[in-house]
Structure 1
Amino acid sequence: MIETIITIAFVLSTALTVLILLLPSQYEPRPSPQEKPRPSVQILVLGDIGRSPRMQYHALSIARKGGLVVIVGYKESDPHPDIMSHPNISIVPLRPHPAILQTSNKLLFATYGPLKVIFQVVCLWKCLAYTTPPSRWLLVQNPPSIPTLAVASLSCFLRQTRLVIDWHNFGYSILALKLGPAHPFVKLSIWYEKTFCKMASAHFCVTDAMRSVLKREFQLQAPILPLHDRPASHFHPITDPKERTEFLTTLPEMEGLRSSLDSGNLRVLVSSTSWTPDEDFSVLIDALLQYSEKAVSQPELPEILAVITGKGPQKQMYLEKITALEAAGKLQKVTIRTAWLTVPDYARLLASASLGVSLHTSSSGVDLPMKVVDMFGAGLPVVGWNRFEAWPELVTERVNGMGFGSTAELLDRLVELFGNDQKLESLRAGAQKESERRWDDEWDPIAGYLFGLTESQ
């Protein structure tokens, strides 16, 4: 009997000790009566901070309004220069997971996936509960939702922090692209996302269509606030054609094409892609291949320089395909180049190009590509995949852009616009008009008011 009591006492004391060790530090101490509290916000990105423009814009808006910001995420590429230099913003980098846990193989994913999640749970808990100071708010980018939402919910509960989820898309819909909608992991992901999102005090989402889904299918009771993406201040149009040409001549990708640019027989097409399955890059390659064939027989069609920016898992596969087409002489009137530019140079490229292309197909149908917002901010007209519900929330057909739903339709758009300067310039005028709608105008009355940084909604 005594031994049983001692054993129970030992187990309980051990469990209590572990619990105390795992508890995060308490919420921020109260300021003195003379000290005015400054709103503090942690921003969690389970991805590359430098390739998460919307979350960087959140950070800059909070900091410029006087709030204190801590960004937690992977630091794989350079964030916006203002993020690095602003005194109210600090970055806590997450430790990247071992390369061996990254795989595109469905069979290996079933084994490596859970191991990767366990690794991320440990790293996230350490950052949210110990490494970072307590904050009033935690703003979480979703997706990815696993394991972010669960760890963030527990940390916020213990630290008396208010959780806000910023919905860019749905995690389960992206997972379904890899595993299929009927896979058990996808069904588990649906349950997980719908369960833990209810822990949030408020939600932002990128479209009105997404708000309807969150309200109807997720049955959320907390406020759901549509916060449409808008361009930041470093994206702006270049209205002088001479200035656009001067910038383009400085690009290494222009090598061998400057005579065509000077003669007016070159159009610069820009596409930013994540090189993932939800952006089928073969649609653009096939359209450019067919355009080249047409331009050979129709001399009035100009040459194209296609500059592709971005990083992702399928990049090498497509580069090999492009190299093979070039070697076979099938891209006589088209040059395809990849580039990774600084933030200012990327903004100037968009403002100097002839046309932007978006291949974003939307796994959920209710999210929108941030790249199109940036293109509009730079006054660049856009052609994009339009076979999803939320597309009209961003693009007004034949005013600032045009949609397509197949390789053939994309080819028709390229021939129509590059073969008619008047139509292209009309779309550019519409895009420049769209560029007047800015991030701060959208953010201040919604997120700024929620975080207590602006006085009225």
Structure 2
Amino acid sequence: MGSIETLLPLITLISIILTAAILCLPSRYTHSHTQEKDKKGRVAVLVLGDIGRSPRMQYHALSLASNGWGVDLIGYDESTPRPEILSSPNIRIIPLPPPPPVLATSSKALFPIIAPLKVLFQLSALFYLLFYIIRPPSYILVQNPPSIPTLIVARITAFVRNSRLVIDWHNFGYSILALKLGDDHPLVKISKWYETKFGNSAYANFTVTDQMRKVLREGWGITKPILALHDRPPTIFQPLDQRQRDAFLSTHRLTAQNVPFDNTKLLISSTSWTPDEDFSILFAALQYYTTTAKKSSSSAKLPNILAIITGKGPLLKHYEPLINELNQSESCVTIRTAFLPAEEYPKLLASADLGVCLHTSSSGVDLPMKVVDMFGVGIPVAAVKFEAINELVKDGVNGVVFEAGVNPGQTKGEELGEILVRLFGDSNELEVLKEGAMKEVERRWEGEWDGVAKDIFEGKAKSQ
């Protein structure tokens, strides 16, 4: 440990030099944005993640820009953001340099050693960017998690540059860290204390659910304004009529060979392939469906399933052998994986018969954006049950919920498998859920943001 500690100053210096060099390189994004004075001022929207895979922060940026704010959207440049982001003259994308691969580890033993080095690299990049690259913002809107080091960097920047700090709580950083280290690990306890302190130092806080707002207020004792800002889909997510659906399915690379869909149901799920989503449940359910279909009589024959899983992430390679095994077996199920461009994803969702969500939530009080998107195009959802899911999925109304664990007398994935057999074997029940999902189409991000968040950026934060 001593040798590592003596190297820390050198590592910090090197990271600052490297960060400065990378940030001075030209971005692949070119905007018509000028350095003229913005109508209302500027807002720095900060996410220590991939901008292209951070839809909520992109929606924040678009809402702020449409309300006259200049926006510096800061994050990793890994996936292409929404076209509206790229074309907006009021939004400037500021890419963060990613930490070097040597600072990534899945080892629990190495994590306490590697993590501080990664944080040092991120600290140097964030401080350089927030102090020297962008103009002083009126507000800094930061996504949490990740909590470390974004909250402390944003708070120091807000103090020095006379900005107001607004935290957008998507989940709790300490609960995600607990998945890796365990609930009783000292770093997990420190992380929770850290989040509590900075939540109380913010000008205002947004949460994705009412349950999360309740935890921050009553469980953590945060006294600063907390407002539940529920995720809603933007207007790009729209239902398709039958003609539009057929046209899309007949031309898209993932579905064209399955057209017509007379005897095939399209099942959609999306994921970042992270530990909080156990896709072995879905694969076991599809195997159960296949076994049941083989036993069905010709008069009650179940349709085939084309299951498309969109997204990219670290655990995809872990599941690929299981996916290949299912695809190579004599099965009525075909599984395909892909990462879709932003303009294709809404149309593929709108073409589906059913969405599946396996998000279990490390905290129990966040909600999955994928379900919001599915409701935006009017498709019903089968979702894993957890504490806050009833704020979104109403069992038997716009979808169904099921247990992530194994119920007594059942095997893994059997409950979901039974749901698939029931819904795809009974078009009446699926149609009822479809009608319920279509009612969710009217609830949009723009209206939610204007009703909840707009006043915060007008300096009208109120305690709730």
State TM-score, norm by structure 2: 0.87
Deviation of the 1:255 alpha carbon: 5.2
Deviation of the 1:246 alpha carbon: 2.2
Deviation of the 1:217 alpha carbon: 2.2
CA distance in structure 2 between the partners assigned to 1:206 and 1:379 by the alignment:
21
Residue by residue over 1:169-190, the C-alpha shift from the partner in whole angstroms, topping out at 9 and shown as x without a partner, is 0000001111111112111211
Q: Tell me which of 264, 267, 274 is aligned to 1:266.
A: 264
Higher-Rg member (1/2): 1
What are the within-5 Å matches in structure 2 for residues 9-158 of structure 1? Answer: 37-158=39-160
What are the within-5 Å matches in structure 2 for residues 46-445 of structure 1? Answer: 46-238=48-240, 240-254=241-255, 256-259=257-260, 261=261, 264-298=262-296, 299=298, 300-327=301-328, 329=329, 332-386=331-385, 388-406=386-404, 407-445=413-451
Give the counterpart letter for 2:288 in structure 1: Q
Checking the alignment, whether the CA contact within 8 Å between 2:327 and 2:333 is kept in structure 1 is: no
Give the counterpart letter for 1:80 in structure 2: R
Give the counterpart letter for 1:356 in structure 2: G
Deviation of the 1:428 alpha carbon: 1.2
Checking the alignment, whether the CA contact within 8 Å between 1:149 and 1:196 is kept in structure 2 is: yes
Q: Which runs of 5+ in 2 are unaligned?
A: 1-36, 405-412
Give the counterpart letter for 1:355 in structure 2: L
Residue by residue over 1:279-326, the C-alpha shift from the partner in whole angstroms, topping out at 9 and shown as x without a partner, is 011110110111111112225210000000011110011012211333
Residue by residue over 1:243-289, the C-alpha shift from the partner in whole angstroms, topping out at 9 and shown as x without a partner, is 21221122222254235x2xx10000000011111001111011011
CA distance in structure 2 between the partners assigned to 1:454 and 1:309 by the alignment:
39
Identify the range of structure 1 (36-45 vs 295-304) with the bigger mean alpha-carbon deviation: 36-45
SS of the residue corresponding to residue 442 of structure 2 reads: coil
Where does residue 25 of structure 2 map in the other structure?
none
Checking the alignment, whether the CA contact within 8 Å between 2:52 and 2:82 is kept in structure 1 is: yes
CA distance in structure 1 between the partners assigned to 2:205 and 2:106 by the alignment:
31
CA distance in structure 2 between the partners assigned to 1:368 and 1:243 by the alignment:
30
CA distance in structure 2 between the partners assigned to 1:36 and 1:45 by the alignment:
22
SS of the residue corresponding to residue 307 of structure 1 reads: strand
SS of the residue corresponding to residue 454 of structure 2 reads: helix
Residue by residue over 1:67-115, the C-alpha shift from the partner in whole angstroms, topping out at 9 and shown as x without a partner, is 1111110010000000000000001100100011111111121211111
Checking the alignment, whether the CA contact within 8 Å between 2:309 and 2:336 is kept in structure 1 is: yes
CA distance in structure 1 between the partners assigned to 2:170 and 2:376 by the alignment:
19
CA distance in structure 2 between the partners assigned to 1:64 and 1:127 by the alignment:
24
CA distance in structure 1 between the partners assigned to 2:315 and 2:433 by the alignment:
31
Identify the range of structure 1 (163-172 vs 392-401) with the bigger mean alpha-carbon deviation: 392-401
Checking the alignment, whether the CA contact within 8 Å between 1:268 and 1:305 is kept in structure 2 is: yes
CA distance in structure 1 between the partners assigned to 2:263 and 2:369 by the alignment:
30
Q: How many residues align?
A: 416
SS of the residue corresponding to residue 109 of structure 2 reads: helix
CA distance in structure 2 between the partners assigned to 1:380 and 1:104 by the alignment:
36
CA distance in structure 2 between the partners assigned to 1:230 and 1:163 by the alignment:
23
Identify the range of structure 1 (101-110 vs 227-236) with the bigger mean alpha-carbon deviation: 101-110
Give the counterpart letter for 2:221 in structure 1: Q
Where does residue 14 of structure 1 map in the other structure?
none
Checking the alignment, whether the CA contact within 8 Å between 1:444 and 1:454 is kept in structure 2 is: no
Checking the alignment, whether the CA contact within 8 Å between 1:39 and 1:453 is kept in structure 2 is: no
Residue by residue over 1:403-429, the C-alpha shift from the partner in whole angstroms, topping out at 9 and shown as x without a partner, is 011422211211111011121122111
Deviation of the 1:454 alpha carbon: 10
Checking the alignment, whether the CA contact within 8 Å between 1:368 and 1:391 is kept in structure 2 is: yes
Instruction: Report percent identity of matched pairs.
Output: 55
CA distance in structure 2 between the partners assigned to 1:454 and 1:221 by the alignment:
16
SS of the residue corresponding to residue 343 of structure 2 reads: helix
CA RMSD of aligned residues (A): 1.8
CA distance in structure 2 between the partners assigned to 1:385 and 1:455 by the alignment:
35
SS of the residue corresponding to residue 270 of structure 1 reads: strand
Identify the range of structure 1 (37-46 vs 351-360) with the bigger mean alpha-carbon deviation: 37-46
Checking the alignment, whether the CA contact within 8 Å between 2:360 and 2:384 is kept in structure 1 is: yes
Checking the alignment, whether the CA contact within 8 Å between 2:382 and 2:401 is kept in structure 1 is: yes
Identify the range of structure 1 (182-191 vs 198-207) with the bigger mean alpha-carbon deviation: 182-191
State TM-score, norm by structure 1: 0.88
Residue by residue over 1:349-383, the C-alpha shift from the partner in whole angstroms, topping out at 9 and shown as x without a partner, is 11111100000001101100000000000111100
CA distance in structure 2 between the partners assigned to 1:181 and 1:441 by the alignment:
38
CA distance in structure 2 between the partners assigned to 1:423 and 1:234 by the alignment:
28
CA distance in structure 1 between the partners assigned to 2:188 and 2:348 by the alignment:
39
Deviation of the 1:241 alpha carbon: 2.1
SS of the residue corresponding to residue 198 of structure 2 reads: helix
Checking the alignment, whether the CA contact within 8 Å between 1:62 and 1:453 is kept in structure 2 is: no
Give the counterpart letter for 1:127 in structure 2: L
Checking the alignment, whether the CA contact within 8 Å between 2:39 and 2:68 is kept in structure 1 is: no
Checking the alignment, whether the CA contact within 8 Å between 1:269 and 1:306 is kept in structure 2 is: yes
Q: Which runs of 5+ in 1 are unaligned?
A: 1-34
